[in-house]
Amino acid sequence: MFKTMKLSGRNFHGIIVIVFVMLSTSSTSAMTKFNVLNFGANPIGRTDSTDGFLKSWNAACSTADSTFIYVPKGRYLVGSLAFKGQCKSPQIIIRIDGTIVAPSDYGVLGKWENWVSFERVNGVSIIGQGAFDAKGPSLWACKASRSNSCPLGTTTLRFTNSNNITINELTSLNSQMFHIAINGCQNVQIQGVKIIAAGDSPNTDGIHVQLSTNVKIFNSSIKTGDDCISIGPGTKNLWIEQVTCGPGHGISIGSLAKDLEEDGVQNVTVKKTIFSDSQNGLRIKSWARPSSGFVQGVRFVDSVMRNVQNPIVIDQNYCPHNENCPGQVSGIKIKDIKYENIRGTSSTPIAIKFDCSPKNPCTEISLRNVNLTYLDKDAQSFCCNVMGKVFDLVRPNSCL
């Protein structure tokens, strides 16, 4: 049981730190502990520590007790790490206080789909003040040169077909492609992470979620070159709160309609977000082609836009760079989407854009207390194949 106490005096912060350390220590005191240094990992960063990390994982995974893997401060050079379940240990906490560093040659990792991956694990937590440094800029430069020799690139951290996952307070720097990907998972909490990449870095989505249920993303800062958070098919019960985005392409549901048979997206809440100098704010996007997919039960609440190109957008004719566009009609059915308490500034005249499918118009779209301006004057709305309602103040004047 916890009691709230009022403390005064100059030793207040010291008392809090002591209590926090005591709680943190007691929470791991009953665990079997492993230190990557004892398995050959090198904290200087000059020699390959891949084997030391894999041996640490294998030792923890094969232990029947709850386990704790510690990565002390330092720089650890590692190649592709694939951590496999199914483990005997019911809980594995990995505390990273150092920096995990990718090889300087982007080709070493670029041929792999993932840099650090977890598959079929349960009860894994990654915590600490450490970082993943994927050294992406050299690969981005290769892609910018349009050379045919560039590898596709690798996702920094991926969880696949896993349950009861926590990622807390880590930093991801300069990912080659996606920073964090959650695929086919249940009960995931991501909190306090920092994601950093250049605004022009290609395909560097901050957090990607698909085919997953009960995912929560809290109190995180994302600066990247693609979607800050991208939400793919099969996502259900997703809660996003207190996330800052920019630079980046916003928080996006999609892109959808990549495949003819596609799972839907439902029950998504995006709350108390801030977008700064981003390409988009709150976006739903689908390709203009047939698909069995859908989007429904989405709530966008309490968002601040600061100089955002497209603050509110539904785009069912999505085709980046207008290359290889399918030129058909989107089969994605979009309904029951609510925007409430959205305010701030657009960097373009059209602040609200609903460009929906002529075959499957967007329905049950609602705007409540929306106030978006352009250059200190009224912005504009654009609507095509959409039906909905407006409540209370909405600026710009809605075309619903």
| Alpha carbons 304 and 311: distance in angstroms, whole number | 9
How distant is the alpha carbon of residue 186 from its chain centre?
15
Q: Which of 179, 205, 208, 226 is catalytic?
A: 226
User: Which residues make Cβ contacts (< 8 Å) with residue 269, sequence separation at least 6?
Assistant: 238, 239, 240, 241, 298, 299, 301
Of residues 138, 161, 162, the one with CA closest to residue 150: 138
CA 270 – CA 300 distance, rounded (Å): 5
CA triplet 246, 247, 248: central angle to 5 degrees? 90
**Helix (H, G, I), strand (E, B), or coil: what is residue 68?**
strand
Token pair for residue 58? 């294998």
In sequence order, the β-bridge partners of residue 301 are 271, 340
φ/ψ (deg, to 5) at 36: -60, -25
- HSE at residue 104, side-chain half, CA atoms within 13 A, is 3
Q: Cα separation of 121 and 293, whole Å?
A: 28
**d(C-alpha 397, C-alpha 380), whole Å:** 7
The contacts of residue 259 (CB under 8 Å, 6+ apart) are: 233, 291
Q: How many CB atoms lie within 10 A of CB 26?
A: 9
Instruction: Based on the residue annotation, tell me whether 321 is a catalytic residue of this protein.
Output: no
| Residue 127 CB-half CA count within 13 A | 14
Spacing of C-alpha 159 from chain mean position: 12
- Tell me the C-alpha distance between 56 and 220, whole Å: 29
Exposure string of 297-309, with b = 16+ CB inside 10 Å and e = fewer, is bbebbbbbbbebb
Q: What share of the chain is helix, strand, coil (3-state, %, to 5)?
A: 10, 50, 40
Backbone angles phi, psi at 48, to 5 degrees: -70, 125
Q: How far is 243 from 10, CA to CA, in rounded Å?
A: 33
One of 133, 205, 208, 249 is an active-site residue; which one? 249
Active-site positions read 226, 249
